[in-house]
Amino acid sequence: MKSFATLLLGLFLTTMAPAQSKMTLEQCYSAVIANDPLTRQREIVQQTGDLNIANLDKNRRLPQLGVNGQATWQSEVTKLPIELPNVPIPQLSKDQYKMTADVSYTLFDGNQTALQKQVQRASTAVGLQQVAVEQNRLKDQVNAYFLNILLTDENTRLTRIRLEELQNRILKAEAGVRFGTVATVGVDVLRAEVLNAEQQLGQLAATRRGLRDQLAILTGLTITDSTRLEIEEFKTDFLNLTLNRPEQKLFESQRMLLDEQVRLTNNRLQPRLSAFAQGGAGRPALNFLDNNFRGFFLGGIRLSWNLSAAYTLRNDRAVLALNREQIGVQQKVFDRNLALQLRQQQTEIDRVSALLDKDREISALRSKIRQTASVQLDNGTLAARDYTSELNAESQALLNQKTHELQLLLAKVQYRTLTGN
């Protein structure tokens, strides 16, 4: 029974213990897009496009309705140029009125509505891709905050190791002071280094809080002091990644939009056929010799063919062709700049990799020197000031190594980001 109660207590304490949260770079990428105000703009662009297409569908399927009216006064009216005895000839009033209700339905629009819908879809695709280009730039900010937090965490870890070593040394030095084998000044030197380490930890904690809060604001995620940041391992060779930049998709979307606009421009010379009906009342009505208010109705089929659209058709095509050429120029500039950036990142990766090869040797030597200095300090053959110098040199060497490791990781992450993956 006692063992069972102990087991329950252990499970309760395990459940209540605060678990250290973990956050990955990919999670930050997803969160920064979801938290970005431009995400709402994507929805607005899509909804606007859908509504415009719905309007085109309604205008094509439903008849067009209109109500018109007019009242006029004219200086002269039509009258018969004859006079018959004892036969009154009606004379029209100079003030005339007409009110009509008009209905028309397009029977054939030369495929104009379908082409307009295609143009609208292509325009929506361009708008969505422009938002994607803007949001892709947020990854660079996430990379900077994320990697700086990792560097701050590593600096904090090494500083704590150094602080623990100094505190252990102070205990041994104080014992030596009591036995008269160590001078008091040696303890003071070690205590000064402890204060420096504690001061550095305070600065690092403040720096991490600032970076943490900025990353939290950017992503909308909850990031605490205990949140552990991790970067997933690269599953593929980052140098063989295919380009998947949103700018490339934007250029392609813009070209597709121009293609649809060309088709719509060529369609302007198509004839249009519609049925119409008109009903109303007026004075005079259809019989212009009757000066009374009367109702009337007429209907039929109307053919319209705007041949004047041919005046500017060639120039309109030329403008669209120039716009397409301009997109090609912009893409070439982008491709060139991207190639330069990728080459620069490759150079950075090679440079930091070369530094890391020497960092490992330097760190190993510095650790060996510090261990020798530790023994000499214990034997009283080395001053505390000299020992702290070697301890700081070892800590700096380890920090340089870890800094270069994180710089290499950042360079690879930036390379992957540049490729759009």
The two beta strands, 228-230 and 22-24, are parallel
- pLDDT tens sequence across 163-207: 888 888 788 777 776 766 566 777 788 888 889 889 999 999 999
- pLDDT tens sequence across 162-174: 888 888 878 877 7
Q: What is the mean pLDDT of the chain?
A: 85
Distances (CA, A) of 231 to 28, 29, 338: 10, 12, 24
Domain extents in the chain: 22-71+92-418
Name residue 299's beta-bridge partners: 277
H-helix or E-strand spanning residue 68: strand 64-73
Q: Which of 186, 198, 187 is nearest to 159 (CA)?
A: 198
Name residue 303's beta-bridge partners: 273
**221 and 23 in contact (C-beta within 8 Å)?**
yes
Over range 133-137, report the average pLDDT: 91
CATH hierarchy code of domain 22-71+92-418: 1.20.1600.10
Q: At what angle do helices 184-219 and 25-35 cross, to 10 degrees?
A: 50
Distances (CA, A) of 407 to 18, 344, 348, 355, 356: 32, 14, 9, 11, 10
- pLDDT tens sequence across 357-372: 888 889 889 889 988 8
Q: Which of 356, 348, 350, 388 is nearest to 369 (CA)?
A: 388
Q: Comparing 4-18, 107-121, 122-136, 327-341, which segment has the lowest mean pLDDT?
A: 4-18
| pLDDT score recorded for residue 414 | 86
Q: Give 86's DSSP letter.
A: T
Which string of DSSP letters, residue by residue, matches 92-147?
A: --SEEEEEEEEEEEEEE-TTHHHHHHHHHHHHHHHHHHHHHHHHHTHHHHHHHHHH
> Would residue 295 be called left, alpha or beta, if left means φ above 0 and alpha means ψ between -120 and 50 degrees?
beta
H-helix or E-strand spanning residue 71: strand 64-73
Does residue 80 carry a pLDDT above 90? no
Q: Does residue 15 or residue 311 have the better pLDDT?
A: 311
| pLDDT score recorded for residue 395 | 83
Residues 6+ apart with CB under 8 A from 42: 128, 131, 132
CB atoms within 10 A of CB 408: 18
Residue 281 φ then ψ, to 5°: -145, 150
265's tokens: 């421009």
The C-alpha atoms of residue 111 and residue 168 are separated, in whole angstroms, by 87
